[in-house]
Chains A and B, each alone.
Chain A
Amino acid sequence: MKKSKIFFVIFISVFVLSAILLGSLVVYVDPYFHYHAPIEGKNYIMKEQRYLNDGIVKNFDYDTAIFGSSMTESMCPSVLDSAYNTKTVKVPFSGGSYKEVGDLMATACANNPDLKTVIRGLDCNRFFNDKDERDYEEDSYPTYLYDDKYLNDVKYIFSKNAIIDSMLILMQRGEAAKPSSFDTYSNWNNDYPFGKDAILASYNKDAVEISHTQKTLSEEDKQTINGNIKQNVTDIADAYPDTEFYIYYTPYSIYYLDFYKRSGELQRQIEAEKYITGLLLENENIHVYSFYLKHELIENPDYYRDIAHHGSEAGNMILEWIYNKDGELTSENYEEYYDELSDYYFSFDFDSVF
């Protein structure tokens, strides 16, 4: 046979063989849980949220799920599991918009009939964003993992990230050497310093453009909110009446409120939250929580690493509060709550926290 023919035959054979081998490896181990739950007894590498979360909500065995942005990343679901005998997964999207988180929540509800409880953090700094906002470029998002088409899975089963992860998981080496759990998944609690100094390192109050008047909630704002909340929260809750939805407003630190106050946004924020609460409470299976009068949290910088993000301790406290119905808003009490909130922060001496 001609040399070049031998070259060609060996090349094609080796290529086809490697593709089959590597592809089967990924399907078998399934590091992103696209086809099945993790193999019993193996540690998986829990890291890339956009690649894992869809598989987690579709294929894991759970009855409780925590959704949200980076504000939920440091929560420890084991707190719930041990105290309330739940099986909880945490599926945060760092920088996730309402739409992105809402879509995942809908996927979870649609795929898991056992899902009883949904806990969701609503980011207060995204109240006025468009209902379809998604914070990423479409072509860099792994949409092939989110659908049921088999053909586009080539992008998954032949990707070196998935192949290398599969090998590490199979051998239980590298990042797969240590056990993973939903407590440690995306949990950055031990990676950052907390406290006043840490917060003030990234927040310069003097750089904020001061507004001497406070904006208020406009009709346009309400329309945006209606679209955003309806599509990404209440419609989903309506579609799954047997699931209970616990929605809480992500509690930022007092420094974030200082920022809102200075920039003239505080009034509008409070009005918006009150308006959203009204919308949410129209659904029987939605329970709403706000913790902005929990002074021991909001005004204690030791819980925070920057003006917004609290760590695990506060996160777990929030889970406890939710389960104890502490901080729950009802149709009866919520208007009074927001009056109190408004009075408190508009008479608050923000200078005292610096």
Chain B
Amino acid sequence: MLFNSYIFILLFIPLCLLGYFLLNRIKLFVPAQFFLFGMSLWFYGYFNYRYLLIIIVSIFINYGLYVFIGKFRVQKKALPFLIAGIVFNLGILGFFKYTDFFIDTINHVFKSNLPLLKIVLPLGISFFTFQQISFIVDTYKGNVGKYKFIYYASFVAFFPQLIAGPIVTHDELINQFTDESKKRLDFDNLTKGIFMFTIGLSKKVLIADVLGAIVNYGYVASERLNSASAWLVILCYTLQIYFDFSGYCDMAVGLGKMFNIDIPMNFNSPYKSKSINEFWDRWHMTLTRFFTRYIYIPLGGNRKGEARTYLNIFIVFFLSGLWHGAGWNFILWGVMHGIFCIITRFIEKRFEKIPKALGYLGWIVTFIFVNITWVFFRAESIPAALDILKTAFSFKFAPIDPIIINAFRTPELIQLMAFADIELKFPNIIPWGFMIVSTVIALFLPNSKKMFDKFKPNAATLLFTIIFFVWSFISLSGVSTFLYFNF
């Protein structure tokens, strides 16, 4: 089930809130937790019920390991179980996510012709395996308290963060589940959650999806682009992935809040960053946290000399690239970010204080770098990415493809402009306006976390929530553009 779907909004979430708080109200705390777990499984199984088996088995085995490791008095003796746990989790991830990539690479290198297995990737597997690895590692280190199975299971499966993160740690969530003061419906939290959900939904539906149509077209019909269109498509993707992913996480935070559960923020205006290191402190923050805690620091972090630090950074980004997707383009994307981080760190180490003017230059360089590397992230392959970049850098400018212009023209914007024939007077006002507004939101306006923290239920926030919620709601489905290259 997707957050941005009718079934989720009209049926799932009202039912889930009602059931959870009613059961808790009559002090059926454990049944309420089972209910939440069951609903989360429905949410997950709605995509494909076969996936349920994977997640349930994974939860059972990890919980079993937790119980087992906990029985050892001497930490070292538990090591085989820790290793078994990590191998198990990475094994599941490896099998479902990387088998075909592996076969494909072998076929390429050895010119062999092994058949691909065409495994369908279970949703959220990259997230819940990482979450459970962190749980097992923490168990081994003795940092985990006594958890009942149902609380552990509903931590892994908790639907707001199940599919696309944030990557929440066990201590963040389970302690909240067991806290009895959080089991009563709280209207302050409920409204705050609705407000945040609305922000996320609007980012996803009103901005990211519109940009997404342009990006899809641009990457499929890349041979039809000129430099102007190519740069526009590149920028559209930069904005799309931010609004889409951060919007999704905002919805997760909002949903959590409705249940009185705090879910950590995942984005903090990443495109405002003045260096690539800052970018990674602001982008997908819970992933950076995971990599720092469980890879970078165990490797020695920055405590083993400068060269070793750079190697560690490189390893983290290489793995990050691989985690983001099973393809060489993702690995290249990760490696490029890693190298740029190393260069930045190298320079920063040699200057005591960076002059302020360089800060703006830093922003420009970072933003351009991020834009260009997203091309490798989005394209089907490295050659496909290079094609787009070649077009962009050929500097052969021509008018933007009318199909792209038209994709910005959503029905409500067309009607809005029709009031005073504005489009007749300023023909490209919609695409320009759309790009400017979304760029300004990403670069200059306070982000959703700030709005969330400052939220107070009053007339202004109510009006904002109603308008954007209803607007997003009626934008969940609609006429999809069928693009035909030749009919």
Contact = CB atoms under 8 A, between A and B. Distances in A.
Contact of A15 (B6, B192, B470): B470
Given A69-B487, A160-B475, A140 B480 contact: yes
A75 to B, nearest CB: 15
B484 A95 contact: yes
Contact of B191 (A11, A142, A162): A11
A114 B462 CA distance: 54
Nearest to A158: B474
A81 to B, nearest CB: 26
B473 A6 contact: no
A18 B470 contact: yes
A70 B462 CA distance: 48
B236 to A, nearest CB: 19
Contacts of B190: 4, 8
A15 B190 CA distance: 16
Given A7-B461, A154-B6, A161 B479 contact: yes
B411 A164 contact: yes
A4 B191 contact: yes
Contacts of B179: none
Contact of A160 (B188, B478, B480, B487): B478
Contacts of A2: 187-188
A160 B474 CA distance: 5
B73 to A, nearest CB: 49
Given A8-B194, A95-B484, A140-B480, A160 B465 contact: no
B394 interface: no
Interface range, A side: 35 or more
Contacts of A10: 462, 466
Contacts of B411: 160-161, 164-165
B260 to A, nearest CB: 13
Nearest to B458: A3
A50 B418 CA distance: 25
Interface string B431-464: 0000000000000000000000000111001100
Given A155-B477, A160-B475, A140 B482 contact: yes
A160 to B, nearest CB: 4
Given A8-B187, A95-B487, A155 B457 contact: no
A10 B467 CA distance: 12
A156 B477 CA distance: 8
Contacts of A18: 470
Nearest to B472: A160
A5 B487 contact: no
B469 interface: yes
Interface in A140-177: 140-142, 154-156, 158-165, 168, 174
Contacts of A101: none
Contact of A174 (B410, B418, B469): B418
Given A4-B457, A94-B487, A158 B194 contact: no
Contacts of A164: 411-412, 415
B461 A154 contact: no
Interface-centre pick from A156, A158, A174 (highest chain B CB count, 10 A): A158
A158 B191 contact: no
Contacts of B484: 94-95, 135
B313 to A, nearest CB: 39
Interface of A: 2-8, 10-11, 14-15, 18-19, 22, 48, 50-51, 69-70, 94-95, 135-136, 140-142, 154-156, 158-165, 168, 174
17 contacts: A2-B187, A2-B188, A3-B456, A4-B192, A7-B187, A7-B465, A11-B191, A11-B465, A15-B470, A15-B473, A18-B470, A50-B482, A95-B482, A95-B487, A154-B6, A158-B477, A163-B474
Given A95-B484, A156-B477, 8 more contacts: A3-B457, A4-B191, A7-B461, A15-B473, A50-B482, A95-B487, A159-B474, A160-B478
